Structures are given as structure tokens and as C-alpha cells.
Amino acid sequence: MELKQRHLEQASQQGLLTPEQVTPLWDYLQSLPPDSASFRATHILFYLGGLIAIAAMSLFMTLGWNAFGGIGIFLIACGYGVAACLVADWLLWQQRQPIPAGLLAALAVTMVPLAIYGLQAQLGYWDYNHTEYRDFHRYIDWRWLMMELGTLLFGAILLWRYRLPFMVMPLAVVLWYLSMDLTPFLFQNDDYSWHHRQQVSMVVGLLMLALAFYIDLRTRHTLDFAWWIYLFGVMAFWGGLSMQHSDSELNKFLYCLINLLLITVGGMIGRRVFAIFGGMGVAGYLGYLAWDLFQDSLVFPFVLSLIGLGIIWLGLLWQHHEAKIQHQLQRHLPAAWRELLAQRR
């Protein structure tokens, strides 16, 4: 239910509040950060429309846009960005609609790399015959770094202004892009291998997770600004880890243990994304055992089915003793983390 001032007045009439408390309490509630409302059908329309607009001006950019020329692309991107910010201002501060406001602010952030690309093209930095803007989302190239750094800077400014969690999404995507485009820049040659990319992806993923932990602690009394960084941090780390190749059975078993650790961390800090990717990693390892290592074994399917039933049994035990188990796990966490988990329940 959306709380209105008349609800406080009705509570005052029933003796639950004094008339003098109604106005100060309403002013306090209005001063709180805009909260994300419960999921409704209108939210589907908000997110669908916003994501289509963002994709149209980024992933689905066509080659025909080069016909506008560098200055034309720059002006169109700036116009889109300014218009999106103006409408976001109106939606957030006057209409108190944080979800569509956050989507439009995110759209403004996605205009930044397009604007920088247009300006660079006008200055002769890009060759239209060999490079187009949609390559930014498809190919790895250290020359995209200026666009990515500019997007992070402008996005951080808008995030400071609007303070809406969805705005973190384009910044998390750009951080992920940055991890890939840094690879040829760091190795200073074009002969970098997928192994290098995997290593960089793992390191950047861990750095993103550390940043998400920090943001989670700093914003534990407000909205959830860390979710998108957790998502792309886990994707970068887990993706780089899962693409590693080794013939050693010990290394493959260590991969399974790392995924089990991800599941444990997810349970400790209350983040399902760790458990989802960790579960996929464990399932992949079990699939490897079934299809490669024990492909001719008659006993392995029975053993694996018993393992699966045992996991279900453990799930039932967890559900029955969930509060006690979480207390035992979380008592090893710092006090700030325990406070955060209590806030997010």
C-alpha cells in the first residue's frame, strides 16, 4: 500500500497519533530517499520501455548512423542525454516516480560513450571505413578506454545527483567492458591470448566485488546500490575462472571447491547471485565427472543420484534450522555486516 497523508490523518482521528504529530511525521517520511515500490504490472512496462530505449541507443545501433557524421552523432547523443535528465528530474522530484526516473537517468549515462565517439570521430580519431560505434559492444580494443572512463565519470556525477540504484547498472557494465579492453593495453601488444583476458577478468571481478562490499556497507541504511556491481563482479570473476583450462584433476576439484565457497559466501552475506553462479559451477563439475571421468562407470549414476538426494535432505535441514545456521555463519562477520544483514531482511 502506498502511504498517503490522509492515512496519517485517519490514524490521528482514531487516536493512534496526536494531530500535532501528523505534519512532522509526514514531512519526515517525504524526506526519506525514494524507495522501490513493490513489483507491479506497471513496473514491467517501465523496465521494458527503458531497456528497449537503452538497447536501441547502444547494442542495436546501426551502421547508418555514420551518415550523421561525428558532430551529428555528438549533438544527437547530447540532446538525448539532456532530455533524459530533464524528464528524470521531473519524474523524481515532482512526480516521485523513482523507477522511470532511474531508467531515464541510466539512458543518459549510456549516451556518454556515443557522444565521446562522435566527438572523437569529428576530430579524426576513428576511421569510419574500419570502425563503427556498435563495435564498442562487440570487440575488445584498448582505444575504447577514453569512452569508458568518460562514462564512469559522468555516471558517477549523475549517481551522486539522483541516488537511484538502477543507475549503477550501466556503470557496472562499463566496468566489465573496461576489464576486457584493459587487456591489450596492459600487455602492450596485439598478441594477447584468451588466457590473459581470463586472468584480467578474474582480477577485475574480484576488485568489483570488493567495491560492492564497500558500497554495501556504506549504504546499509539506504537503498541497495551494490546489487548490479555484485552481479557483474561475480560474472567477471566466475566467467574468467570457468574458462580456465587444466588437465589436472586437482585443479578441477579446486574449481568445485571455489564454487562451493561462492555458495557459502552467498549464504553468509545474503546475496543469491553468489549461490546461483556457484551452483552452476558445481553442476558443471559434476557434469564433467559424469560425461568424461566416469563415463563408462555403472556405479557413478547411482552415487550421483544419492548425492543429489543428500543435497535435498541438507536443504530440508537448512530450512528447518535456517535461523540457527545463519546465526552461526554470520557471527564470524564484522558488526557492520551483521547490521547490514539485519537491515536487508
Q: What is the DSSP string of 107-131?
A: HHHHHHHHHHHHHHHHTT-S-TTT-
- pTM: predicted TM-score of the whole model, two decimal places: 0.74
Instruction: Please report whether residue 159 resides in a domain.
Output: no
Write down the pLDDT at residue 35.
Answer: 47
Report if residue 197 sits inside a domain. no
Number of domains the chain contains = 2
Q: Does the pLDDT value for residue 295 go beyond 80?
A: no
Contact between 76 and 132 (Cβ < 8 Å): no
Least confident window among 131-140, 210-219, 282-291: 131-140
Q: Examine the pLDDT at 223 and tell me if it is beyond 60.
A: yes
Q: Is residue 214 part of a domain?
A: no
User: Residues 261, 262, 263, 264: is their CA dihedral positive or negative?
Assistant: positive
Q: What is the mean pLDDT of residues 232-247?
A: 89
Q: Is 193 part of a structural domain of the chain? A: no
pLDDT, the chain, mean: 81
pLDDT tens digits, one per residue of 95-146:
888 889 999 999 999 999 999 988 988 888 876 555 677 777 777 777 788 8
- Structural domain including 260 reads 250-294
Residue 340: C-alpha distances to residues 159, 214, 217, 343 (Å): 22, 12, 7, 5
Per residue in 14-64, pLDDT (tens digit) is 877 787 777 887 777 766 654 444 456 677 888 888 888 888 887 766 556
Taking residues 305-332, what's their average pLDDT?
A: 75
Domain assignment present for residue 19? The answer is no
Does 138 map to a domain? no
With respect to residue 134, please indicate whether it lies within any of the assigned structural domains.
no
What is the phi/psi pair of residue 83, to 5°? Answer: -60, -40
Distance CA 58, CA 110 (A): 7
- Is 119 part of any domain? no
pLDDT at 88: 93
